[in-house]
Structure 1
Amino acid sequence: MKVLVVGSGGREHALVWKIAQSPLVSTILAAPGSAAISELATCHTIPVSDLDGLVDLARAEAVDLVIVGPEVPLCDGLADRLRQVGIATFGPSKLAARLEASKAFAKDFYARHNVPSARYGTFSNAGEAKAFLDQFQPPYVLKADGLAAGKGVVIVSDRAEAEAEIDAFLSGKFGDASRTLVIEEFMDGEEVSIFALCDGEDVLYCGAAQDHKRVGEGDTGPNTGGMGAYSPAPIAKPELIETAMKTIIEPVARGLAAEGSPFQGVLFAGLMVNADGPRVVEFNIRFGDPECQVLMMRIEDDLLPYLEATATGHLADMPPLSWTAEPAITVVMAANGYPDSYEKGSLIEGVDAANLMEGVVVFEAGTGRNAAGQHTATGGRVLNVTASGETLHYAVDRAYAAVDQINWPGGFCRRDIAWRALKTH
């Protein structure tokens, strides 16, 4: 089977790494790919924004299956374009992708289909938005309607600060993405990410993980695209997963199909769990990053047939995925200054040494190579140091031992990934 993976980050590196283990794959292409991905796949420097170029590549190479990693090309309609020319695609249509592309659409959708979530209001007028704050006690949750690279959520406890943020959002703090604003009731509890494959009709559980969104240890500081993740998460007990599948994920899949936009790809439910059970924080329409990295480490099966079945509508024929009992953790190493401004081009040493450690894989999210072939930083989140182990403690120790092999003065990481789980052990 000839496979094209669209994207260039750590998530796509992990997907390519997993797919490369399949005996069914003959050729892996990636677009645009990366220096790290090029070690496993043939890369074509076509940006994810060039839908015509991606479709032309898939056709010219007679690709059997396209796997779209990031959300932006899906929200722009890449999967529709590929399916129109008869190419099986893992990733939802533009209509189904509104579940992530528009938080206002998503909140209205949850309400229509009785999917439990926080109370909310949607605004494009600052005065109306500020008045709506009276509905809630602080802290206040403000969300940009559109895509903001995982950073379009602000949680503040001060009313004056919330009103200032409303003005900032509606004045374009996140560009067009925040010209419409969703204000939500704050949900207390513990967050968990649950994934499910969906072929337009059937759904299949595809793992759970816990992400760490805040930049600072102890979950402090601004939100990021994710500073680390681990799986399994103690909170994701079988009964919680069953409840989430029946009351949240399956109703969302049915609702999208009923509204004429059946979903083909992976549904990623970010949930808040408390005594009232799970409620939706948000849905994403692709594998989480960095959650994907730990899921790829833990899936025992050949993943490729599951991705193909999802893309072709045959998921009902597939058995449940099997998982290794070994926990996995990924630690994100980011450029100094992230998630605000950061420098590119700094030298990174020791990645190869870290990769040689038992149970460790360093997925590269934002790296290049200089003229001497050395690793350099090209993004904000740069390395995903991922490890598995007999217990979570072993996995965590391995991951941070690998981090310590890496010499990168221009970067940093959180040293407390998986702290919630370790606290309960």
Structure 2
Amino acid sequence: MHNVVLLIDDSELDKSIYTRFLESTKNQDEYRVLTLEDPNQIPQIFKSVNIDCVLLDYKLENNKNGLELIHAIKQHSPYSGILFLTGFGDETIATKAFKLGADDYLNKSDLSQSRLEITVKNIIEKKQNQLAQAKTNRELNLLRKAIENSQSLMMVCEPEVGLFITFNQQVCRFLGVSELAIKSHSFMSFTDYFNSPAEWRKFVAELQKKKVMQIEANLINLDKEKVPFEIDCNYSRIDNKDYLLFSGTDISRLTKIQNELQTLVIKDPLTQLLNRRGLIASYEKTLQVATRENYAFAFAIFDLDNFKKINDIHGHQAGDTVLTQFSDLLAKKFKRALDIVSRVGGEEFIVIVTDKDKASIRQLFNDVIKTSPAVTTPSTTASCGWVCVQGNSQIKNYDRLYALADKALYQAKENGRNQCIEAKLT
């Protein structure tokens, strides 16, 4: 691809010499030479042609000089090089040309083909580099604006202890502190992801190996609120220095939705008690405590008596009211951290309790049976079958305990309902 050189000179002889010099180089297609007769046409020619270098003579027709044209050339094409030419050999003129924006200067009396070729080539390379750098700077400025306007937290830290080097304004807004205050802290001080410097060093070593990672971590704002973020982490080496780049996206809304969906999965929508899935998920945790402490472990099934008649006589809305009232009773009676209260279908509820004293568990179950008619409208009794094993017992399988409690429940129903019967272990 050839470079375009524009000649602005009042001497036809000089123009023909410069044209011959440039077009007869080793690479004959390297230069395309144009001439401009009327300097007033500068705006038009620069709009229509991409000029790489201008050979501008000092002395022009109509008592004009090339110094007067430098500004116009720079205005219309700031990355076109200007080689200023004069036959006077006056350094004062050269100095003025440089101050106005010329890139180099040659005295016509010392001009040769090789010197002209080298000078033009150097000017074009310099201007192309300036153009490339300007383009890079524009892109970097656009990137900076994008980063500043981003809703994500953008941070650069050093890897040793995580001190902040630079960050966008979103970080300042989130943390609620000044840039100076942030730069005096490390990334570790604004998150609970790392419990010690050793964990930080382990994280940095892993990131250095993988180069790119994604983590979920809570970031702590000025109000000491822990806000969940998804953070893209990047380990970069620039000019022989190591940097950690973080881009954090607030996922608190997503986390809330996920938690709500999780709640829908494990909870009964009518009573807000655990459903069967939630019960199974919590079963092992309570069992582990009972096993470790060798506590009494009770598995109870409660069933509302004659519940079908309530729906048939009073309607399903009344039936739902009874279910929620009975659920509230269970939730109030069994509210310790390890107590499990669940509705597993229809009018059937499962309660799992662990305690040092089996007698206190029996009393709680009997209290539920006694209280049920008083807290339900229409008044409804309940029956219960339950089984209790010690934590060190071999009978801990869910299905086995359910079968024993269900058999006891059947006996309670057969015995007239409104009672609580404990299964006998054989």
TM-score bracket for this pair, using the shorter chain length: under 0.3
TM-score (norm 2): 0.19
